[in-house]
Amino acid sequence: MNPDISRRAEQFVRPLYAGLDGVQTFDRVERLRPRVAALAEGLEIDGDLLDLLLVFHGVVDRLGSLAPGGRLDLFLRDLGLADSLARRVRAALGRMGGDPRGPEEELLHDALLLESAGVAATAERLMALGKKRTPLARALTQLDPGPPAERYRTTRGAALGSARRHEAEEWIADLRRRIAADI
C-alpha cells in the first residue's frame, strides 16, 4: 500500500483505539502484523485489503455505519481508494467477528485468536482475575488456555493455536499442582 495512504489511515484510527480510561491500544495492530505475516507466508493475498483490515479491525464499533456513505466509507473515499477495495473493506469489517471469508479475513481472524492463546495470554487472564480480587483457587479453575484448534480458519493457524493451547494447558496444570502443594 502507498505509505502515505497507510500513514493517513493510521492517523485516522489511532484516537479511536483510546479507551475511556485513556489507555491507547493501537499497539495491538503492530503486534498482529508479524503474526499475520507468518500465517500468510506462501499465500496469495491482497496486501492492501489485509493492511486496512489490520488497521481498522479494533475500532469497528466506533466507526458508525459500515454502509455506503457512512463515516468509514467517506474516509476510505478521501484516501482515494478504489470503490471495489472500499466495498471489500466495509464488508469484511462487518463480518470479521462471526463469519470471516477470504484469505485476508481468515488470516486476521486467526492472528486475533493466536493473540488469545498460549501461556502469556493465559497469564494475562490470571492477572486480570487477580485485579478483580478473584481468589486464587477460584481463578485457577476459571483459567482458559485459549481457543481450540477448530475455531481457526487456516491450517497454519490451527497448528500454531493447538500448540500454544497445549503449552498453556501444561502451564495451568503445573501451576495448579504447585499452588496445591503450597496450601
Bridge partners (DSSP) of residue 24 are 18
What pLDDT, on a 0 to 100 scale, did the predictor assign at position 114?
A: 94
181: confidence class by pLDDT, cuts 50, 70, 90: confident
Identify which has the larger pLDDT, 37 or 4.
37
- The mean-pLDDT minimum among 10-14, 90-94, 101-105 falls in 10-14
pLDDT band, very low/low/confident/very high, at 23 (cuts 50, 70, 90)? low
Q: How far apart are CA 144 and CA 169, in angstroms?
A: 8
Alpha-carbon span 87 to 67, nearest angstrom: 9
Find which of 7-21, 52-66, 155-169 is predicted with most confidence, using mean pLDDT: 155-169
pLDDT tens readout for residues 116-142? 999 999 999 999 998 999 988 888 888
Spell out the alpha helix ranges (H) of 41-154.
47-56, 71-78, 83-95, 102-115, 119-131, 136-142
Q: Which of 163, 123, 155, 147 is nearest to 43 (CA)?
A: 155
Tens digits of per-residue pLDDT, 67-92? 888 888 888 888 888 889 999 999 99
The per-residue b/e assignment along 84-113, b for 16 or more CB within 10 angstroms, e otherwise, is: ebbebbbebbeebeeebebbbbbbbbbbbb
Q: Does the pLDDT of residue 96 top 90, yes or no?
A: no
> Distance (Å, rounded) from C-alpha 41 to C-alpha 74?
32
Q: Are 105 and 88 in contact (CB under 8 A)?
A: no
Separation between Cα atoms, residue 33 and residue 162, nearest integer Å: 20
pLDDT at 179: 87
Query: C-alpha grid cell for residue 47?
Result: 496486501
Residue 134 corresponds to which cell in the numbers above? 478473584
* Plot region of 22 (φ>0 → left; ψ -120 to 50 → alpha; else → beta): left
